[in-house]
Structure 1
Amino acid sequence: MDHDDFAMGQWLGVLAYLTSAVGCALGLACTLQARSTGNARKRLMWLALAAVSIGGVGIWVMHFIAMLGFSTPGLPVRYDILRTALSAVLSVVAVFCGLLVFGVRNSFAWRRLLLGGVLTGLAVNVMHYTGMWAVQVKGTIGYDPTLVALSVVIAIVAATAALWFTVGLDKLLPRLAAGLVMGAAVSGMHYTGMAAVRLHLDPAAPDPAGSEVFTFLFPVFVLAALAMAVPICAVLMASASSAAPRHTPVGS
């Protein structure tokens, strides 16, 4: 075995999936808010919040948590900080582009759904493989092209299905189902991508440059908490505003 994806136990995979599902569910709720507003500026704001929730938490933080279990037994693993940060930025930007295509208008169109699903699914892959570019080991990292292609298909199909769930969702359970579906897309893509990894390790090679994963663990979770708090507050405020009774002025 050249690497282990569950060096800290299977529970880490469950935690990664739940994190992804929550981030995606919140992001899809923001997407629904975007599609239901007629104000262009507010729509862009909601889509930006959705991109942060899905791209930042649902995809990037999920990947980060899952990678806590990645190890090359007996050999060190390090991370390039700049490449890791780049993967987060690319994830959010790419998801925003996909959501912008899908949520730019209130009306539903299959072409926008399909294109948005492709772009959002590709965003998952862009984040994953950019994040893997940041991984430094004693040797080189290669990939099985068949499994890489499969990881792309998984992400696109499930991301498209999750976006479709947001069409006209006005109940809690379907929204949660959409988050679970998209969380499955991200997790499925991640572990399929990790199955595609082909390490060529050289114990005699110099130790890789970079930082240990636990050195930037705390800042990541602080940023994740902030990335969740802002959309949650926005969704709650929007829900409270829409539920508030409207009084007709006397004499009108």
Structure 2
Amino acid sequence: MQDAVPVDGFTYDLLTPVVAYCMAVLGSALGLRCTMRALAVEPSRRLGWLALGAVAIGTGIFTMHFIAMMGFTARDVQINYDLLITLASLVIAVVVVGIGVFIVGYRGRTPLALTGAGMITGLGVACMHYTGMAGMRMDGARQMYSAPVVTLSVIIAVVAATAALWLAMTVKTFGVAIGAALIMGVAVCGMHYTAMEALSVHLTHAAGELTGRTPAEILTPILIGPVLLLVFVGLFVGMDPLEREWRHRDEEDALLAAETPEAGNFEPSMFDRRD
């Protein structure tokens, strides 16, 4: 086996990392909001919101990963993707994240439930990444990973995802929910780029002639469906009547806290049922 070939994860400079992070934040914000919504309704209506939350977070992770991979190239190596394994990584992300979401939805916001759900959600991020990487096909080359850096990438995903879930489910205001989504975006992107540092590409034999198709051209058709799915979830959440009520209550709670000096123990009432 030959020496490792140079790789570049930022072929388009900061364009792909920034767009990828935004998609991770969008999916996380929608997913966390759906999970919070599930905790505010009757148990009989909880299933749909939790499933929607899992789809949003899992799709956001998937979209982030492959947008970031648009900027990944290896010198003199043609990169392609196995469609079935690529789509399987989306299913894995939704299912594993869904387990974490359902733990919170049906076990409540206890420390044990939040910690367990955060760990599972972080593992879902890692499972999606490495399954997606398993679907990568390199003509005349193979992937190798540094075990310590892989371990570090999983730890980053688990710790940041757990922190985001704790923040979103315990502070319970719209602004803090956005902050939690930003942290979740850090979990997804931090895990991804740390994991890519663990990767080295080694030539096994002389590569064939490059076809000229870039990773961006290959991945764009694959991403159309997941991006549209995130848009659909966003529209569904945005049109939910309780969403507007929550935001209005957040404004009232903030105003009350500002006008009441002794409101140190004041807690917003997002999860008070008024329907």
Q: Secondary structure at the match of 1:166?
A: helix
Does residue 1:24 correspond to 2:25, yes or no? no
Alignment partner of 1:75 out of 74, 77, 84: 77
In the aligned structure 2, how far is the partner of 1:240 from the partner of 1:32? Answer: 10
In the aligned structure 2, how far is the partner of 1:204 from the partner of 1:147? Answer: 28
Relative to structure 1, the CA distance from residue 235 to residue 112 in structure 2 (aligned partners, 3 Å threshold; closer, same or farther) is: farther
Partner of 1:130: 131
In the aligned structure 2, how far is the partner of 1:161 from the partner of 1:238? Answer: 28
Partner of 2:58: 55
Partners of 2:77 and 2:207 within 8 A in 1:
no
Does residue 1:239 correspond to 2:242, yes or no? yes
In the aligned structure 2, how far is the partner of 1:240 from the partner of 1:180? Answer: 19
Query: In the TM superposition, what is the alpha-carbon distance from 1:168 to its structure 2 partner?
Result: 4.3
Per-residue CA deviation, residues 29-69 of structure 1 (Å, 9 max, x unaligned), is 111011222223x2111111111111012x00000100000
Relative to structure 1, the CA distance from residue 167 to residue 216 in structure 2 (aligned partners, 3 Å threshold; closer, same or farther) is: closer
Query: In the TM superposition, what is the alpha-carbon distance from 1:227 to its structure 2 partner?
Result: 2.9
Letter in structure 1 aligned against 2:91: V
Q: Secondary structure at the match of 1:91?
A: helix
Identity of aligned residues (%): 38
Q: TM-score, normalised by structure 2?
A: 0.80
Q: 1:71-110 residue pairs with structure 2 within 5 A?
A: 71-105=73-107, 107-110=108-111
Partners of 1:79 and 1:212 within 8 A in 2:
no
Relative to structure 1, the CA distance from residue 241 to residue 187 in structure 2 (aligned partners, 3 Å threshold; closer, same or farther) is: closer
Relative to structure 1, the CA distance from residue 142 to residue 239 in structure 2 (aligned partners, 3 Å threshold; closer, same or farther) is: same
Q: Which runs of 5+ in 2 are unaligned?
A: 249-275
In the aligned structure 2, how far is the partner of 1:77 from the partner of 1:215? Answer: 9
Q: Which runs of 4+ in 1 moved over 6 A?
A: none
Per-residue CA deviation, residues 215-245 of structure 1 (Å, 9 max, x unaligned), is 451352243122332343235314257579x
Query: In the TM superposition, what is the alpha-carbon distance from 1:130 to its structure 2 partner?
Result: 0.1
Alignment partner of 1:15 out of 15, 19, 33: 19
Q: Which runs of 5+ in 1 are unaligned?
A: 245-252
In the aligned structure 2, how far is the partner of 1:217 from the partner of 1:24? Answer: 21
Partners of 2:89 and 2:132 within 8 A in 1:
yes
In the aligned structure 2, how far is the partner of 1:205 from the partner of 1:62? Answer: 29
Partner of 1:188: 190
In the aligned structure 2, how far is the partner of 1:200 from the partner of 1:8? Answer: 23
RMSD: 2.3
- Matched pairs, number: 240
Relative to structure 1, the CA distance from residue 75 to residue 124 in structure 2 (aligned partners, 3 Å threshold; closer, same or farther) is: same
The farther-off stretch of 155-164 and 73-82 is 73-82
In the aligned structure 1, how far is the partner of 2:101 from the partner of 2:94? Answer: 10
Letter in structure 2 aligned against 1:10: L
